[in-house]
């Protein structure tokens, strides 16, 4: 393990290095799949005609002026312009897009790593906001709000029974840091409405869900996206597992991770390699010069074997991680073919506060392969999962029709391909029963049922004081499972029970119900410890890590 030597400083080396790296990233303005462009691009001159190439800008303005001044009927100017913008961008790639001013803040909040709010986890039950848990150290916890409280009023507005969705409720609860909001709370066993003044504060927007030991010496970290705090959160997880729990090997779970900031992904990658100046990824476009992102050689923890989990929902920055690990033979990639987003966008702020995400380059893995999927058929591109499901690729990788047969080679000489996502080294088929409509309807009711059942039986659950004992001993009884099924079928409006599918999916439903109850009893990590049990991808990752030389086995 490497540490910085600082006299009188009681900080880990990576914690000291982090502000410097962030500063460099901010100066460069580089983000994963997204780069902030602070200056307008210079006007391109058409050398043959000696004229400025304006792509018909003048004609567009003239058309809008004529329509506005002379059209027979009244038109909504803003709607007309936005439709024209959408149609124009639709002629480009699927990831170039226009962001209206109203959507900028919510989009930035998702990536920024924090937001201003009251700090609760909640769900909508019977048209009422239920507090699942106040976030530890957050403003709601400090104000005295408890799990199980129903928020029925926000300020002067009643929100219960209004049919409001989660997004509308979030807009009520969020506000500027330091601002106060008065919440009307209905609490169990309290006849009168209770009122709390909550001062909004910065709320961490977690991108690392959990880190724990799968078994002796093998750690697990689940990264759900690459936001501004991902590297920092990832390193906290690695530090705890490595220094306190004896981790030597690591499983990084990037399933259903849509990507985010490129800089966070490359900082993570630098911690997975000992060497300096190894290319992790590079970007290049017709109007963008090549930019190489290389390892720093400043890793702080000497991790041995690495496995990365990916699936059809792993995109962009997730594919950068998987591609670099695979190309350098640094570890094994387990799962199914990733999404295939290898395009980089720059964000241009427009005069009215809206923004343009414009694709300016492609990114390439260290071996030189672009993993961007073909998007000539936009409809198929947008409905990628359905296309994969229909083709049978999710059960058999041989069903995938490789469009680019160019061979690329890993550091160890293994052949890999581009043009359609990262193909895993170890394929794990999808259990199609877990994507049946019947199962998904049943699963969607687990959270609400678990919450109600826990609230109604807190005294019984209080007897499970030890997390390990709960994980190993607690079982979902037949009576409890039947109670859950009746609740789920009623709420999901299922007309009849599908016994054949239920037989196949019952173990998964019971495991998830136990995991959710465990979360209420203990903490977030308990959910993953239970729900990951018997996960075929995790089992494969462990099996390959325990192999003495897994990469040699892959070459065979």
- The pLDDT tens digits for 75-91 are 888 888 888 889 999 99
Question: Which tokens belong to 35?
Answer: 């780069």
- The pLDDT tens digits for 492-510 are 888 889 999 999 999 999 9
What confidence tier does 553 reach under pLDDT thresholds 50, 70, 90? low
> How many CA atoms lie less than 13 Å away from 276 in the CB half-sphere?
3
341 in catalytic set: yes
pLDDT at 279 > cutoff 90: yes
466 in catalytic set: no
What confidence tier does 31 reach under pLDDT thresholds 50, 70, 90? very low
What pTM was computed for the model? Answer: 0.83
Q: Which CATH number is correct for 208-430, 1.10.1200.10, 3.90.226.10, 3.30.160.270, 3.40.190.10?
A: 3.90.226.10
- The pLDDT tens digits for 530-546 are 999 999 999 999 999 99
- The pLDDT tens digits for 119-176 are 888 888 777 888 887 877 788 888 888 878 889 999 888 888 777 777 777 777 888 8
- The pLDDT tens digits for 452-495 are 999 899 999 999 989 999 999 999 999 999 999 999 999 888 88
Residue 192: what pLDDT? Answer: 87
Residue 127: what pLDDT? Answer: 78
In sequence order, the 6+-apart residues with CB closer than 8 A to the CB of 135 are 119, 120, 121, 141, 203, 204
pLDDT at 275 > cutoff 50: yes
Helices (H), 392-534: 437-444, 446-456, 458-462, 467-473, 478-491, 499-521, 524-531
Write the DSSP string, 219-282.
Answer: EEEEE--B-TTHHHHHHHHHHIIIIIH---EEEEE-TT---B-HHHHHHHHHTT--SEEEEEEE
Higher pLDDT residue, 488 or 31? 488
Residue 265: what pLDDT? Answer: 95
d(CA 396, CA 413): 25
Residue 6: what pLDDT? Answer: 31
In sequence order, the 6+-apart residues with CB closer than 8 A to the CB of 287 are 41, 360
Residues forming beta bridges with residue 218, ordered by sequence position: 215, 249
Marked catalytic residue, from 140, 207, 316, 338: 316
How many CB atoms lie under 10 A from the CB of residue 473?
9
Separation of first and last alpha carbons in the chain: 33
SS3 letters for 291-313? EEEEEECCCCCCCCCEEEEECCC
User: Fold for domain 114-204?
Assistant: Pdz3 Domain (2.30.42)
96-118: b or e for each residue (b if 16 or more CB lie within 10 Å)?
A: bbbbeeeeeeeeebebebbbbbb
Interval 90-101 mean pLDDT:
90
What confidence tier does 54 reach under pLDDT thresholds 50, 70, 90? low
Residue 187: what pLDDT? Answer: 85
Marked catalytic residue, from 253, 311, 327, 535: 327
CA angle 404, 405, 407 (to 5 degrees): 115
d(CA 452, CA 317): 38
316 in catalytic set: yes
On average, the pLDDT of the chain sits at: 85
Marked catalytic residue, from 12, 341, 519, 529: 341
């Amino acid at each position: 393990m490497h540490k910085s030597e600082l006299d009188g400083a009681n900080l880990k080396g990576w914690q000291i290095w982090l502000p410097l790296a962030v500063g460099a990233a901010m100066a460069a303005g580089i983000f994963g799949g997204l780069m902030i462009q602070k200056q307008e691009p210079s006007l391109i001159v058409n050398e043959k005609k000696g004229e400025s190439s304006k792509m018909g800008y003048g004609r567009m303005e003239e058309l809008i002026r004529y329509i506005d001044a002379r059209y027979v009927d009244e038109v909504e100017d803003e709607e007309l312009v936005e439709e024209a913008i959408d149609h124009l961008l639709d002629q480009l790639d699927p990831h170039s897009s226009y962001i209206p001013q109203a959507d900028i803040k919510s989009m930035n909040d998702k990536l920024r790593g924090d937001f201003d709010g009251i700090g609760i986890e909640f769900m909508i039950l019977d048209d009422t906001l239920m507090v699942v848990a106040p976030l530890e150290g957050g403003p709601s916890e400090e104000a005295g709000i408890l799990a199980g409280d129903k928020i029925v009023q926000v300020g002067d507005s009643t929100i219960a029974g209004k049919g409001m969705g989660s997004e509308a409720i979030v807009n009520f609860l969020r506000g500027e840091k330091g601002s106060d909001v008065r919440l009307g709370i209905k609490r169990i066993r309290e006849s009168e409405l209770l009122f709390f003044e909550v001062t909004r504060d910065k709320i961490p927007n977690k991108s690392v869900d959990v880190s724990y030991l799968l078994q002796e010496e093998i750690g697990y970290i689940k990264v759900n996206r690459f936001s501004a705090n991902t590297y920092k959160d990832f390193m906290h997880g690695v530090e705890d597992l490595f220094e306190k729990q004896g981790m030597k090997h690591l499983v990084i779970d990037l399933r259903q991770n849509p990507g985010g900031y490129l800089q966070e992904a490359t900082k993570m990658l630098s911690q997975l390699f000992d060497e300096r100046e190894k290319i992790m990824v590079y970007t290049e476009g017709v109007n963008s010069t090549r930019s190489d992102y290389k390892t720093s050689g400043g890793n702080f923890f000497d991790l041995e074997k690495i496995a990365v989990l990916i699936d059809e929902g792993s995109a962009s920055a997730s594919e950068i991680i998987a591609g670099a690990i695979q190309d350098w033979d640094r570890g094994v990639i387990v799962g199914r073919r990733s999404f295939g987003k290898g395009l980089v966008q720059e964000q241009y702020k427009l005069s009215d506060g809206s923004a343009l995400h414009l694709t300016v380059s492609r990114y390439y893995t260290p071996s030189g392969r672009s993993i961007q999927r073909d998007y000539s058929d936009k409809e198929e591109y947008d409905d990628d999962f359905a296309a994969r499901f229909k083709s049978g690729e999710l059960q058999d990788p041989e069903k995938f029709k490789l469009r680019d047969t160019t061979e690329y080679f890993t550091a160890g000489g293994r052949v890999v391909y581009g043009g359609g996502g990262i193909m895993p080294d170890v394929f794990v088929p999808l259990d199609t029963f877990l994507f049946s409509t019947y199962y998904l309807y049943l699963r969607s009711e687990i959270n609400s049922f678990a919450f109600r059942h826990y609230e109604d039986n807190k005294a019984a659950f209080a007897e499970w004081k030890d997390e390990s004992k709960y994980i190993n001993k607690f079982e979902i009884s037949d009576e409890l499972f039947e109670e859950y099924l009746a609740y789920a079928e009623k709420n999901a409006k299922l007309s009849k029970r599908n016994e054949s599918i239920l037989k196949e999916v019952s173990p998964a439903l019971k495991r998830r119900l136990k995991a959710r109850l465990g979360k209420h009893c203990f903490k977030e990590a308990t959910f993953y410890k239970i729900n990951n049990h018997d996960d075929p991808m995790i089992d494969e990752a462990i099996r390959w890590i325990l192999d003495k030389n897994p990469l040699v086995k892959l070459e065979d």
